[in-house]
Amino acid sequence: MCHTSKPSQVRIQRCYVALTWKRFSVGWRSLSSRASQSSSLTSLLFLFNTSYSFGTQQRISRLTGPLSCSVRMWLSWYPTRIFRVRVGCGHLDWQLESATQIFGAIRTSFSTVEVLALGYARDSISSEWHDEADRSQWRELLRLFSNVKTLRGCSELINLLSFFTAGRRGMANGAVTRAGAARLSCTPRR
Amino acid sequence: MELLPELEQLAYHAPRGVSDAFIAFVDARLNAGCPVTLVPSKDTRLWR
């Protein structure tokens, strides 16, 4: 039996995750009508104002003490309606964890995403990402997007995704080897 | 482990040519039985 989406649920087609040196942003665009989107966005804002913001503050407090971490959410109406969340925190692994928290909090809404854009605004990927914990975070984030058909991203991030999946031995001279990248497993289409 | 099982396209913006990272990614997906198409993009913006 096939269940249709709840009337209030947003059907999200496109998502982006932008990691930068001092902050990261996530955003998504809905295919829903304006009326239903407005209702659902209220719910999303409520989610972020409770669980997500609390989680961020908790993380900052536990690791580094009273550092400031800004969370900004807004809906842009031009050129297209895109809901954006921007979190200001310097450490890239925190950004990745925060992104995972955000998408994980509304996991069901992102199961419909077909286009995922990953961005990274820095000259080179920091070596501090190359540990097992971060690989797990990447996997956890990507598992949320089980229906993605198009992936957009810079070469550094695509390389990084291969690296996190394949492990240290999968990368040679800045690029993944065939054997290492082959561990990017998936379920063959039937 | 299943990551992006429905992936069909990998869009890239590389004015100086396709990097090894994209080729390795596409090759890996092909070997895993989930081929993806490498699609050039002129749009430098992350989001459009």
Domain membership flag for residue B31: yes
Domain membership flag for residue B4: no
Pair type for strands A70-76 and A82-88: antiparallel
Q: What is the pLDDT of residues A44-74, one digit of tens each?
A: 444 444 344 434 444 433 333 334 455 565 5
pLDDT mean over A132-160: 75
What pLDDT was estimated at residue A77?
Answer: 54
Asked if the C-beta of A175 comes within 8 angstroms of chain B's C-beta atoms, the answer is: yes
Contact A44, A85 (CB under 8 A): no
% residues pLDDT > 70 (chain A) = 18
- Model confidence at B39: pLDDT above 80: yes
Query: How sure is the predictor about A27, in pLDDT bands with cuts at 50, 70 and 90?
Result: low
Domain membership flag for residue B48: no
CB contact under 8 A, A158 and B46: no
Report the residue count for chain B.
Answer: 48
Split into its structural domains, chain B has a count of 1
Whether the model clears a pTM of 0.80, i.e. scores above it, the answer is: no
Assigned token pair, A97:
């964890």
Domain membership flag for residue B13: yes
Per residue, the 3-state secondary structure of A131-160, as one string, reads CHHHHHHHHHHHHCCCCCCEEEECHHHHHH
Residue-averaged pLDDT of chain A: 56
CB contact under 8 A, B11 and A150: yes
**ipTM summary value:** 0.84
> Which structural domain range is residue B26 located in?
9-37
